[in-house]
Chain A
């Protein structure tokens, strides 16, 4: 590898640790435990009778709302990263840009709060 990736050395160490850990955890349970699966053991179990319908059922739209909110603030955080890194090189204009950006999101958040979208039940 060339010189410019040397700063990712710690990341590589972490990656190796993660891989080794995953292999050890899965490999040991694979080696140690007993495997004697048959069709009845591996089938979906539902209290002694055959399952009525598919395990994959439709669910509430509110989970989707939670995911949307997560994405919004996820994106807001990713807009903040380069802003935070270059704080010293920016004028007050950059600060005000970020402030207005956050204000727009706060408007949406207040709307969500007032309309009761943050409450589950």
Chain B
């Protein structure tokens, strides 16, 4: 039953991803992107990574899609841009199809291959046991450390201690995004501020201070 849901959302993702590229109207492309993200989130939910599913919806559907809409609407595009001449040729189509098929085959082979634990994908189980191509060394066994019952708390157990640098780095990225967006629009802003009307200053002026005598030199 789950695999049916999983494959169905995969198919929807692929179809709407295709429509993102194909749709003549860029606003419609953004809306198809939302469908892609919702189905990606559904797939993660079925893979039992609920926190990431939730984050995908909050961040990508809620925020990034809005930003893309803004960008699209600010671009001042005309009503319809024909994409008929932008279709890939047969050769390019073959290359894309072949590449995707090869990648999928590799992923499927590694995932449904010889995995001792059905809950852990094969490449991850190799990582856990440290037998990945004879590599040994210090590593953290994330899969064993996580609490299998709750996805979000398994995230929180490691993110704020072992993954501290990533949290701080994410904060830096957010800071740069905020400062950068302000800096990029500051020139327009200061121009607007120069012409601003200060009502309180106007109303607090009186004739005694506004009209003054200038001494002759």
| A-to-B contact residues, CB < 8 Å | 1-2, 4, 54, 56-59, 61-65, 67-72, 74-76, 78-79, 81-86, 89-91, 93-94, 97-98, 100-102, 104-105, 107-109, 111-112, 115-117, 121
- B70 contacts A79, CB within 8 Å? no
Interface positions, chain B 37-75, Cβ under 8 Å from A, are 48, 51, 54-55, 58-59, 62-64, 66-67, 70-71, 73-74
Chain A residues near B27 (CB-CB < 8 A): 56
Chain B residues near A104 (CB-CB < 8 A): 168, 171-172, 174-175
Chain A residues near B179 (CB-CB < 8 A): 108, 111
Write the nearest CB–CB distance from A34 to chain B, whole angstroms: 30
Number of A-B contacts (CB under 8 A): 146
A4 CA to B196 CA in the complex, in Å? 60
A62 CA to B120 CA in the complex, in Å? 47
Stretch in B85-93, B103-111, B129-137, B180-188 touching the partner:
B180-188
A59 CA to B168 CA in the complex, in Å? 34
Closest to B180 in A: A68
Stretch in B10-18, B156-164, B205-213 touching the partner:
B156-164
Q: Out of A78, A82, A102, A117, which one reaches B58, CB within 8 Å?
A: A78
Q: Out of A2, A62, A68, A82, which one reaches B177, CB within 8 Å?
A: A68
B114 at the interface (CB under 8 A from A): no
Q: Out of B62, B66, B155, B182, which one reaches A117, CB within 8 Å?
A: B182
Write the nearest CB–CB distance from A116 to chain B, whole angstroms: 6
- B78 contacts A86, CB within 8 Å? no
- What 0/1 readout, one digit per residue, does chain B (180-201) give for beta carbons within 8 Å of chain A? 0110011011001100100000
- B167 contacts A101, CB within 8 Å? yes
Q: Out of B1, B58, B174, B192, which one reaches A72, CB within 8 Å?
A: B174
Chain B residues near A93 (CB-CB < 8 A): 160-161, 164
Chain A residues near B157 (CB-CB < 8 A): 86, 89-90
Using known A-B contacts A68-B181, A72-B178, determine if residue A61 contacts B51 with beta carbons closer than 8 Å.
no
Closest to A80 in B: B156
A97 CA to B160 CA in the complex, in Å? 6
Pick 14 A–B contacts, CB within 8 A, sort by A: A59-B73, A65-B181, A68-B67, A71-B177, A74-B58, A78-B58, A81-B152, A82-B155, A90-B160, A93-B164, A97-B164, A98-B160, A101-B170, A105-B171
Chain B residues near A67 (CB-CB < 8 A): 63, 66-67, 70
A101 CA to B2 CA in the complex, in Å? 38
Using known A-B contacts A74-B59, A81-B51, determine if residue A89 contacts B153 with beta carbons closer than 8 Å.
yes
